[in-house]
A and B are shown apart, each in its own frame.
Chain A
Amino acid sequence: MSKASTEQRSIARQALRLLGVVVGMFVFAIWVMPPLYDAFCEITGLNGKTGGQYQAVEAAIDTSRQVRVQFLATNNESMPWQFSPEVASIKVHPGEEVEVRYIATNPTGRTMTAQAIPSLVPFKAAEYFHKTECFCFNQQALKAGESAELPLRFIVDQDIPKQVNTITLSYTLFDVTAEFALAQAE
């Protein structure tokens, strides 16, 4: 009988170990993969995700070359706001801090909250594009019919590769009024 009971114990042990793998993979899928993916994207600049707020450091301005920065504005799905950059593109020297503005108008009859999500091409330029101030760091609330100028200050890094002459920065505006209300309620 002892042989049978060792077999039973071994079965139970292995089944528990496999169950552990199952739980581990579930945790991996929900709590490891998404942050890992975000970190991976931030390091490689994949998906054009730009970083958070940048602390300007003292650096020489490279006046020998200019990089063209183009600005795009897109409304996500049924977002009714008027949303556009003040200028379509500017030329900047690497290392120079520049301020541009986007203009947003809420034409509806109710207060709405928006969130702008940036994306930048070429991807390899994402790590050389530093924002010292950006409206995308916060949600923007506008009352009915109200307009606002949304500032963006950025520096193109002096170390940006020579072959990058044009950077296109795109903001997509999402309607987060419902989510914002939910967050307020909590």
Chain B
Amino acid sequence: MAHGPAKGITRWLYTTNHKDIGSMYLWFSLAMFLLGGVFALVIRAELFEPGLQIVDPEFFNQMTTMHGLIMVFGAVMPAFVGLANWMIPMMIGAPDMALPRMNNYSFWILPFAFSMLISTLFMDGGAPNFGWTFYAPLSTTYAPPSVTFFIFAVHIMGASSIMGAINIVVTILNMRAPGMTLMKMPLFVWTWLITAYLLVAVMPVLAGVVTMMLMDIHFGTSFFDAAGGGDPVLFQHVFWFFGHPEVYIMILPAFGIVSAIIPTFARKPLFGYASMVYATSSIAFLSFIVWAHHMFTVGMPVAGELFFMYATMLIAVPTGVKVFNWVTTMFRGSLTFETPMLFSIAFVILFTIGGLSGLMLSIAPADFQYHDTYFVVAHFHYVLVPGAIFSITAGVYYWLPKWCGNMYNETMGKTHFWLAFIGLNLTFFPMHFVGLAGMPRRIPDYSLQFADFNMIASCGAFLFGAAQLLFVFNVIATIRSKNKATDEVWENPEGLEWTVASPAPYHTFTVAPPIK
């Protein structure tokens, strides 16, 4: 097969090649990550000092909303789909994804969705300002007119995710090389298989909830309007029925990436492969029965509070199994600390901290104090930034030499890591303290006693942002570099992706590889 990529822009517009589409997803996600990061820095700049300095409160609310939406739907999810596109066919010995044309569509509708969402910033009445959770009636009765654009953008993003997820499931179930049984699949493939099922189950619920909003706003229904016999609390139930599995959608592929990287740099096989698979499945199952722990304060009966509290705490068990397995994999290994490994170790430590603050939040009586404070902000940023973002970064450093055939600059990579690590902790650790002291989230101004910690957090945020520019520079420099990587890249890494040349040829595994 001497069939190479087409020339010019149409290569990217019409491509059905999983590597091209994976790259486009990753670049798109990087662009959204930087944009969402700029929004975050607007927030942190305003919060540098108490009082209103830089933006007015209305615009501040648009920033918190857009930051959340863009990071969740524009940065983290497309990055994982991009990694899945690149790596899953190469990991299971398949020539491409099962539905390549749909793969093309699922990527190319994304830029439209996000153009629509971002364009709301320039509309009369401004962008959505009701928080990324868009609770009714804030997002219905009191919403700016641009909410309709937001609704359709979410519909398109949802369609893209659903198509991507269906593609991943059918690829994994049908395209594995002969001999690759389910329990021989790399964990990244396993975690993505489970994530894809979660996506198929809950993205339609998200589409449903925004459709109900649309009908309430424009067609006179009253799903969430008490005046017409509806109930705004119903919105929260439906939203979090989507929203809680969604947070696992953003973390399960991260588990897979870290489970690929740690064994390579510990030079030991992953400890407890089967228990990892079962733990991931248990987490996915439990994610469907804990949604109301986001809404302990809405006035649930005690039985409900207790059920959701205990079910939530139960998630700590499979998560603990995973952390135990990663630590045990490293135990007595011949560890080296290349950039992907640094990010992975930071992932294990910081994600555990985020998990522990999650356990604190799961205690229903305590949650009445923590609810809607900066403690919650600290919690979910500790699981999402070192969880999703660090694992994606680790994955990029780990597989980039395979993608482009060149080795990245290790010193620059390590500098990126340490700047990001310090910046992250400076930003989010103080938020625990101000949250416990009672600082509410989503406010542009705050009491004087929170001033010092907020100033530290803002400095950390700008450091973290600067570190990402170094990352972008390093990635581009690597692609243009002459420093060739070997086919194996690392020392005896596990997996089929390392058996092909670096850079990976445009078509790989057109003949299924033999599986040991």
B-binding residues in A (CB < 8 A): 7, 10-11, 14-15, 18-19, 21-26, 28-30, 33-34, 37-38, 41, 44, 46-47, 76, 115, 117, 123, 172, 174-176, 179, 182-183
Contacts and interface: CB of A to CB of B under 8 A. Distances in A.
Contact of B166 (A18, A25, A115): A18
Nearest to B201: A25
B174 A10 contact: yes
A10 B237 CA distance: 36
Contacts of A33: 208, 234, 237-238, 241
Contact of A179 (B204, B208, B220, B300): B220
Contacts of B212: 29-30, 34
Contacts of B242: 29
Given A14-B169, A14-B173, A123-B301, A29 B227 contact: no
Contacts of B170: 11, 14-15, 18
A28 B209 CA distance: 11
Contacts of A34: 212, 223, 230, 234, 238
Contacts of B300: 46
A33 B291 CA distance: 14
| A contact patch SS | helix
B227 A115 contact: yes
A179 B227 CA distance: 10
Contacts of B238: 29, 33-34
Interface string B235-258: 001100110000000000000000
Nearest to B225: A174
Given A22-B200, A37-B231, A176-B228, A29 B173 contact: no
Q: Which of A21, A22, A46 has the most CB of B within 10 A?
A: A22
Q: Which 9 A-B pairs have the closest CB atoms?
A: A29-B208, A174-B227, A25-B204, A26-B204, A29-B205, A18-B166, A30-B208, A11-B98, A14-B170
Interface string B182-216: 00000000000000000011111101110110000
Q: Which of B162, B208, B220 has the most CB of A within 10 A?
A: B208
Contact of A29 (B167, B204, B220, B229): B204
Contacts of A28: 204-205, 208
B496 interface: no
A11 B99 contact: yes
